[in-house]
């Protein structure tokens, strides 16, 4: 019998072999002349500061992972995007970054946390991280060529409609999977975790949102198939990643692009499979019933598999208005591992450009998300258990977590945008006894 971690290493080895074959093919290929000059070196950068506060709200009791009322926190990050073309069709990118600050209640208290600019590790002094270091290889398979604008982690040039793209190294699962034109960038659009990503997508990541792995994308006409393998953290919600695929995630996504009335849209269906040492929540509840002590998940972790899936839709309605939907579900029998405590989710929203009021660089967004958890997770939290982000010490009256977010992003000068953001969180941490919480934020973002 082949062990799961051996299968994962085999998959990574196959990806590396495919990359080598791809490089050789790229060197031999004689594509049509590019539609745009090809960059061989690029430097981009960004800096974002977010000040976010929550007003007072009903809080008859709280626990270690509760959202506290009446507080203001700030986060800051500055990133360089350094890219080079080592050979034809290849891009090598490094993203050194400086981070500082804290999320509300040290990024705790709400499953759909209000700021995706807040990492799970907060520090009062700036600190350095190399968040990404990856190689991307693109191989043309023919079809119409189109220009590609230079951007962060993307060299300017051109690409064919049909192509294969391989990415290997350290990067975010969300760089490749679960993308959405209208809700996927907390530095420019929505801030809430469960709006910019599918809340039930327990994707592999360290406490900053990145992992070691490989992804392959096959673009053919209106279709794209994506496959990926990534390291989970060594322990749930950990700062340190596995390096040998002892605990890992497999991702698969299929995308179809279309036009309706001349307006583009896309539908993405995805599955994830996490394999690692997870605790079953019903065993935690049984332990509590026997001992009366708050469950310790570390003592209950055993090799297990956790599955989930999601749908992700975006659709342009007019030249300035776009709509989106995300929905997902995951196996609620097990503890959440690397993202957040959500077993089912549904998010819908809209994004409107400012051309209609003569502010073409401005954008306004509105979205609502409802998050839910399994009965097993409810019982675990009721017993005083702590999740990745939530745990009020009790949960006598559970209910779905409802969050509505609205933002306005104004283009100040070229390369700089100032945003105002409001979120209303009903039943934070699935607790009907606490909240609702009103969360306000100001965001300043600059990029070159």
Query: Can you tell me which residue has the tokens 């993202």?
Result: 339
* Domain contains 34: no
Q: Label residue 288 by pLDDT band (50, 70, 90).
A: confident
**Residue 313 — φ and ψ, nearest 5°?**
-125, 135
What percent of the chain has pLDDT above 70? Answer: 92
Q: Judge contact between 133 and 170, C-beta under 8 A.
A: yes
Cα angle: 258, vertex 360, 314; to 5 degrees: 25
* Domain contains 32: no
* Domain contains 171: yes
Q: Judge contact between 400 and 371, C-beta under 8 A.
A: yes
* Domain contains 85: yes
* Domain contains 195: yes
* Domain contains 33: no
Average the pLDDT over 124-150 and give the result. Answer: 97
Average the pLDDT over 40-69 and give the result. Answer: 98
Read off the pLDDT of residues 320-355 as tens digits, 9 standing for 90 and up. Answer: 999 999 999 999 999 999 999 999 999 999 999 999
Read off the pLDDT of residues 371-430 as tens digits, 9 standing for 90 and up. Answer: 999 999 999 999 999 999 999 999 999 999 999 999 999 999 999 999 999 999 999 999
* Domain contains 365: yes
- Residue 330, domain CATH: 2.40.160.10
Give the list of residues 6+ apart from residue 254 with CB closer than 8 angstroms, or none. Answer: 223, 224, 225, 226, 268, 269, 270
Number of domains in the chain: 1
Could you check whether the bond before residue 436 is cis, i.e. omega within 30 degrees of 0?
yes
Structural domain range at position 271: 4-27+44-447
Read off the pLDDT of residues 183-229 as tens digits, 9 standing for 90 and up. Answer: 999 999 999 999 999 999 999 999 999 999 999 999 999 999 999 99
| pLDDT-wise least confident of 31-35, 136-140, 167-171, 443-447 | 31-35
């Amino acid at each position: 019998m082949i062990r799961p971690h051996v299968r994962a290493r085999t998959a990574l080895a196959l990806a590396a072999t495919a990359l080598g074959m791809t490089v050789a093919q790229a060197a031999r290929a004689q594509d049509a002349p590019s539609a745009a000059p090809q960059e061989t070196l690029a430097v981009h950068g960004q800096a974002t500061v977010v000040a976010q506060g929550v007003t007072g709200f009903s809080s008859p009791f709280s626990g270690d992972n509760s959202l506290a009322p009446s507080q203001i926190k700030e986060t800051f990050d500055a990133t360089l995007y350094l890219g080079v073309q080592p050979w034809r069709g290849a891009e090598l990118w490094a993203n050194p970054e400086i981070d500082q600050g804290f999320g509300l209640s040290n990024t705790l208290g709400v499953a759909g946390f209000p700021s995706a600019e807040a990492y799970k590790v907060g520090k009062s002094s700036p600190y350095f991280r190399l968040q990404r270091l990856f190689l991307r290889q693109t191989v043309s398979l023919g079809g119409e060529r189109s220009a590609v604008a230079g951007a962060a982690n993307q060299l300017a040039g051109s690409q064919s409609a049909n192509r294969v793209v391989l990415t290997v190294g350290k990067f975010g699962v969300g760089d490749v999977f679960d993308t959405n034109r209208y809700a996927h960038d907390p530095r420019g659009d929505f801030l809430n975790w469960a709006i910019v990503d599918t809340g039930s997508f327990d994707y592999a990541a360290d406490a900053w949102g990145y992992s070691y792995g490989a992804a392959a994308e096959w673009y053919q006409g209106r279709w794209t198939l994506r496959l990926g393998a990534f390291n989970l953290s060594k322990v749930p919600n950990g700062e340190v990643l596995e390096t040998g695929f002892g605990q890992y995630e497999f991702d698969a996504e299929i995308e179809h692009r279309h036009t309706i009335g001349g307006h583009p849209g896309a539908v993405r269906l995805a599955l994830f499979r996490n394999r690692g040492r997870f605790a079953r929540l019903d065993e935690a509840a049984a332990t509590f019933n026997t001992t009366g002590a708050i469950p310790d998940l570390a003592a209950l972790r055993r090799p297990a598999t956790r599955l989930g899936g999601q749908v992700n839709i975006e659709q342009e309605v007019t030249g300035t208005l776009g709509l989106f939907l995300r929905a997902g579900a995951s196996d609620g029998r097990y503890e959440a591992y690397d993202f957040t405590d959500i077993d089912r989710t549904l998010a819908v929203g809209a994004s409107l450009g400012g051309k209609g009021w003569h502010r073409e660089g401005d954008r306004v967004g509105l979205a609502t998300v409802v998050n839910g958890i399994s009965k097993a997770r409810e019982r675990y939290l009721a017993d005083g258990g702590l999740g990745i982000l939530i745990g009020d010490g009790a949960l006598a009256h559970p209910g779905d977590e409802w969050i509505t977010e609205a933002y306005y992003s104004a283009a100040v000068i070229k390369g700089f945008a100032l945003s105002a953001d409001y979120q209303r969180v009903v039943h934070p941490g699935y607790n009907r006894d606490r909240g609702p919480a009103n969360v306000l934020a100001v965001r300043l973002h600059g990029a070159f």
